[in-house]
């Protein structure tokens, strides 16, 4: 695992970037972030790799990232309190959503609570938020986006549930420019009033109003609270879920 000598110049030039670590190949950008001991109270540390040999997703699941053509990155950012983690989850979700929409305005993108972005009914992006062991004032936002990947590059068991920008559009996207745009939008969205950014976020939710099951609860997906709790309307009334795996009980 060796860092690339010439990093992403556009990204490195952004004034709010504290450090930039670039790799051709790495086990996981989030795992690398866990070993950091040097942090900034104001700037962002970015770790980016062309591929990951052991990409990780939510709940210990693996995330496919062994083929070149995707964006695999982690942002290590300063936070006032870990309890406010959804503020950053929302910001990075919207930054990725908006950056792809800027290139493909008619893309049927949606944000699937809590940590995925879908193109139609297939997964395009996964997000992983984790604490940083050597600083209680920072945490990491990892994300993997399937951009310039062909269908045959995906393992057979996920070809029916995952997709890429190239599969959907037939276009090749400049990865460096897209990543730079995501980081810039992430910084801007953080400065918006929470009411404004959350209203935008809720409008982009995947399959709002659908019948779902999560943690043994069934009901209609009604929305998401500004603090990140999923809202379900059931026969028992309004219920909230802090975490869990959403299972849709109706076909899209």
Whether the Cβ atoms of residue 129 and residue 115 lie closer than 8 Å to each other: yes
Domain extent, residue 111, equals 9-203
Say yes or no: 17 and 116 in one domain: yes
- Residues 37 and 125 grouped into a single domain: yes
Q: What pLDDT, on a 0 to 100 scale, did the predictor assign at position 59?
A: 45
Are 165 and 135 part of one and the same domain?
yes
Spatial distance between the Cα atoms of 72 and 207, rounded to a whole number of angstroms? 26
* Number of domains comprising the chain: 2
Q: CB-hemisphere CA count at 13 Å for 79?
A: 23
> What pLDDT, in 10s, does the model give residues 105-114?
999 999 999 9
In a domain, 1, yes or no: no
The two three-digit tokens of residue 95, written as one number: 């930054």
**Centroid of chain to Cα 136:** 21
pTM of the predicted model as reported, rounded to 2 decimal places: 0.93
Both 242 and 143 in one domain: the answer is no
Q: Is residue 3 part of a domain?
A: no
Flag whether pLDDT at 39 surpasses 50: yes
**Secondary structure of 84-119 in HEC code, one letter for each residue:** HHHHHHHHHHHHHHHHHHHHCCCCCEEEECCCEEEE
What are 122-153's pLDDT values in tens digits?
A: 999 999 999 999 999 999 999 999 999 998 88
Average pLDDT over residues 68-85: 89
> What pLDDT is attached to residue 129?
93
Maximum CA extent, the chain? 59
């Amino acid at each position: 695992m060796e860092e690339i000598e010439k990093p992403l110049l556009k990204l490195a030039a952004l004034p709010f970037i504290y450090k930039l670590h670039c790799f051709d190949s790495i086990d996981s950008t989030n795992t690398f972030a866990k070993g950091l001991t040097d942090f900034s109270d104001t700037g962002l540390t970015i770790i980016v790799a062309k591929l990951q040999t052991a990409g990780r997703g939510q709940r210990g699941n693996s995330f496919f990232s062994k083929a070149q053509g995707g964006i695999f990155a982690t942002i290590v950012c300063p936070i006032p309190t870990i309890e406010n983690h959804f503020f950053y989850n929302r910001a990075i979700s919207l930054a990725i959503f908006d950056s792809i929409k800027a290139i493909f305005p008619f893309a049927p993108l949606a944000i699937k609570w809590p940590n995925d972005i879908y193109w139609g009914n297939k997964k395009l992006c996964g997000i992983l938020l984790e604490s940083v062991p050597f600083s209680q004032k920072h945490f990491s936002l990892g994300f993997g986006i399937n951009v310039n990947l062909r269908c045959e590059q995906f393992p057979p068991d996920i070809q029916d549930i995952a997709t890429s920008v190239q599969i959907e559009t037939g276009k090749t996207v400049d990865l460096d420019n897209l990543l730079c745009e995501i980081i810039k939008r992430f910084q801007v969205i953080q400065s918006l009033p929470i009411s404004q950014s959350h209203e935008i976020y809720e409008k982009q939710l995947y399959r709002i109003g659908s019948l779902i099951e999560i943690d043994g609860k069934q009901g209609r997906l009604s929305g998401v609270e500004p603090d990140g709790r999923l809202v379900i309307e059931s026969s028992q009334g309004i219920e909230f879920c802090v975490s869990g795996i959403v299972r849709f009980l109706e076909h899209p």
